[in-house]
Amino acid sequence: MKNLIYILLLFISACTEDIELNLKHTDPRLVVEGFITTDTATHYVRLSKSGDFFANEQMPAVRHAKVSINDGHYTYELIESESLPGLYLTFDNFFGVTGRTYKLKIENVDINDDGVYETYTAQSYLNPVTKVDSIKLEYEDNWDLWKVLLYAMEPGGDTTDYYMFSLIVNDTLYTDQLTEVTVADDRFIDGNYAKGVWVHSFYINNDEYDIYPGDTITLKMSGITSEFYNYVIALQEETGTNIPLFSGPPANLPGNISNGALGYFTCYSNSYGSTIHTGDKTDIQ
């Protein structure tokens, strides 16, 4: 679709040009980023402040907060990292359990500088995810990209399931921004066997792919909440290119932190599938 629009824009000789804009200011707000997953690892909650749109620098970290997570059974205190200010960490043997609701509480912060501490809370349910049977890489000639195909059983059921797909290349997270993950609901595949569903892609970058024959490619499939699904969709919309024909009016992301804070705290479960990249473009099933 977008491809077609670009062809059209080419015909009507569209051009772009940098312009000066005088934008308004707002008071800083707390920004939260926290994820609980089923992986056994150090989990973190990152606290920062918002700033002017054209601030053009790293947003300031929020330090010395009291951050805790409660899973309905136990409360875990998070400890601020010494090397990475604003990052609050769990122990490295922490893992989320599906079916539990996790509650985040942030205390001891004074974002508006009025001398009174504020408290912020958020909560999220940890949904299960189906097992990835296998994945496959397939070359797409028309668009010059490598498709990542998923093989897995979609469990079906009455509720809508939401998925997030991330890519890992040789143990390094390739899709390290939320703009690079793909998200989907199960409308098209509810209760069916996913027999090579195209869920992600490796695009060509400066005439080269980021992956080489011999690389281990891993797909991470996450079972996310509907709220987080909507957040990712909105984030991708608001940070992507705005085309008046298709884009609605800009709007703030639907975060889930109380007390006017921005950002997100969410839980999800992970399931992995790997393959070795052969580089063989003719390998069509």
Strands 44-49 and 30-37: antiparallel
Binding of other proteins by 52 (CB under 8 A): yes
> Which helix or strand (DSSP H or E) is residue 231 part of?
helix 226-239
Burial label, 39 (beta-carbon count in 10 A; 0-12, 13-18, 19+): middle
Please, what is the minimum distance in Å from the beta carbon of residue 93 to other proteins? 25
Q: Is residue 124 within 8 Å of residue 101, measured between CB atoms?
A: yes
Question: Given the rule CB under 8 A, which of 53-61, 69-77, 117-125, 212-220 is the region that contacts other proteins?
Answer: 53-61
Question: Given the rule CB under 8 A, which of 74-82, 186-194, 215-223, 273-281 is the region that contacts other proteins?
Answer: 186-194
Task: Find the binder of other proteins among 132, 232, 256, 277 (CB under 8 A).
Answer: 232
Q: Is residue 194 within 8 Å of residue 152, measured between CB atoms?
A: yes
Name the CA dihedral angle for 219, 225, 228, 232, rounded to a multiple of 10 degrees.
40
Other C-beta atoms lying within 10 Å of the C-beta of residue 31: 22
Other C-beta atoms lying within 10 Å of the C-beta of residue 113: 8
Binding of other proteins by 254 (CB under 8 A): yes
Question: Given the rule CB under 8 A, which of 117-125, 193-201, 203-211, 213-221 is the region that contacts other proteins?
Answer: 193-201
Binding of other proteins by 198 (CB under 8 A): yes
The set of residues, in sequence order, having a beta carbon less than 8 Å from that of 99 and lying 6+ positions away, is: 126, 128
Please, what is the minimum distance in Å from the beta carbon of residue 199 to other proteins? 10
CB-nearer residue toward other proteins: 33 or 118: 33
Q: Which amino acid is at 27?
A: D
Which of helix, strand or coil describes residue 238?
helix
Task: Find the binder of other proteins among 9, 41, 204, 276 (CB under 8 A).
Answer: 9
Site string for other proteins, 73-112 (x = CB under 8 A): ----------------------------------------
Binding of other proteins by 4 (CB under 8 A): yes
CB-nearer residue toward other proteins: 116 or 284: 284
Number of residues that bind other proteins (CB under 8 A): 81
Question: Given the rule CB under 8 A, which of 45-53, 99-107, 213-221, 271-279 is the region that contacts other proteins?
Answer: 45-53
Binding of other proteins by 23 (CB under 8 A): yes
Q: Locate all alpha helices (DSSP H) within 75-170, ordered by sequence.
A: none
